[in-house]
């Protein structure tokens, strides 16, 4: 994801994200939690749909049967090549800049953007682009990296972190990535959604049990069962590291 007028925030070209981050790591629970949320929020039927920052199409099986035309957009040509190798003619890939999306105004019936916001230096500019390419009445499902989680509150309270999870200031964790790794207060992004023009229809708290210790104690299958209930129950307090929003562009 990159604004050409800015420094590249995250460039996955030449990096095997599919193998290194997902297949070789213990992230089955996180993958299932994402899929569960997407199934709850995406429309059942769409004409044109885009997975923004969709990489190699990890989540493609959740939307391929819902849309007549599917695009996967990403900055990384490495990942888009993998997507074509996996899905062939089922998807059309587009590479480019998230701040200047290669879609026409009002072109898409639906879109989603998952695990992207932590790379965004200019959240409002990116959200404005999503709004631009979506048709009136269209749905956007957007996942936001949350700074207001319980572990972050505890670390701040005991003095192990200088990042205040209670204020609306964007958190930039440069110890994770020198180029920037951004987390957002829910109210901050919700204000942006409203300013841009989106109507908020539903919110889910996702990956509520993202913890190595909990994975060892409960095992993935049990955590997934707990997650299914927790996503809606914990949504009002924006508890999890991933907050999912179902947004709609108003009809004219």
In this structure, what CATH number is given to the domain that contains residue 142? Answer: 3.40.50.150
Give the predicted TM-score (pTM) of the model.
Answer: 0.91
Q: Whole-number mean pLDDT of the chain?
A: 90
Instruction: Please write the tens of the pLDDT for every residue from 51-106.
Output: 999 999 999 999 999 999 999 999 999 999 999 999 999 999 999 999 999 999 99
In a domain, 161, yes or no: yes
What's the domain count of the chain?
Answer: 1
Is residue 65 one of the residues assigned to a domain?
Answer: yes
Q: Is residue 4 part of a domain?
A: no
Q: 3-class secondary structure for the chain?
A: CCCCCCCCCCCCCCCCHHHHHHHCCCCHHHHHHHHHHHHHHCCCCEEEEEEECCCCCCCHHHCCCCEEEEEEEECCHHHHHHHHHHHHHHCEEEECCHHHCCCCCCCEEEEEECCCHHHCCCHHHHHHHHHHHEEEEEEEEEEEEECCCHHHHHHHHCCCCCCCCCCCCCEECCCCCCCCCEEECHHHHHHHHHHHCCEEEEEEEECCCCCHHHHHHHHHHHHHHHHHHHHHHCHHHCCCCEEEEEEECCCC
Model pLDDT, residue 24? 62
Question: What residue numbers bound the domain in which 177 lies?
Answer: 17-247
Residue 179 lies in a domain: yes
Q: Report pLDDT for 8.
A: 43
Assess if residue 150 is contained within a domain: yes
Mean pLDDT of 18-42: 86
Is 9 a domain residue? no
Residue 147 has pLDDT above 50, yes or no: yes
Asked if residue 208 belongs to a domain, the reply is: yes
204 lies in some domain: yes
Q: Give tens-digit pLDDT for 168-194.
A: 999 888 766 666 689 999 999 999 999
Q: Which of 9-18, 212-221, 243-252 has the highest mean pLDDT?
A: 243-252
């Amino acid at each position: 994801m990159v604004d050409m007028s800015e420094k590249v925030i995250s460039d996955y070209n030449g990096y095997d994200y599919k193998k290194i981050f997902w297949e070789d790591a213990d992230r089955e629970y996180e993958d299932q939690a994402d899929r569960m949320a997407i199934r709850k929020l995406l429309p059942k039927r769409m004409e044109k749909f885009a997975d923004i920052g969709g990489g190699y199409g990890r989540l493609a099986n959740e939307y391929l049967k819902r849309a007549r035309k599917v695009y996967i957009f990403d900055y990384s040509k490495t990942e888009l090549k993998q997507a074509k190798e996996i899905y062939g003619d089922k998807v059309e890939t587009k590479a480019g800049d998230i701040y200047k999306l290669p879609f026409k105004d009002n072109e898409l019936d639906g879109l989603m953007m998952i695990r992207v916001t932590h790379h965004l230096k200019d959240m409002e500019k990116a959200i404005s682009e999503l709004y631009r390419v979506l048709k009136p009445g269209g749905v956007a499902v957007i996942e936001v990296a949350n700074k207001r989680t319980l572990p972050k509150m505890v670390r701040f309270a005991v003095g192990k972190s200088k990042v205040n999870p209670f204020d609306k200031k964007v958190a930039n964790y440069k110890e994770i990535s020198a180029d920037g790794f951004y987390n957002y207060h829910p109210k901050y992004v919700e204000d942006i959604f409203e300013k841009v023009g989106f109507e908020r229809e539903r919110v889910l708290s996702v990956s509520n049990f993202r913890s190595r210790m909990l994975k060892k104690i409960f095992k993935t299958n049990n955590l997934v069962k707990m997650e299914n209930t927790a996503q809606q129950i914990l949504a009002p307090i924006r508890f999890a590291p991933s907050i999912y929003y179902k947004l709609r562009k108003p009809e004219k």
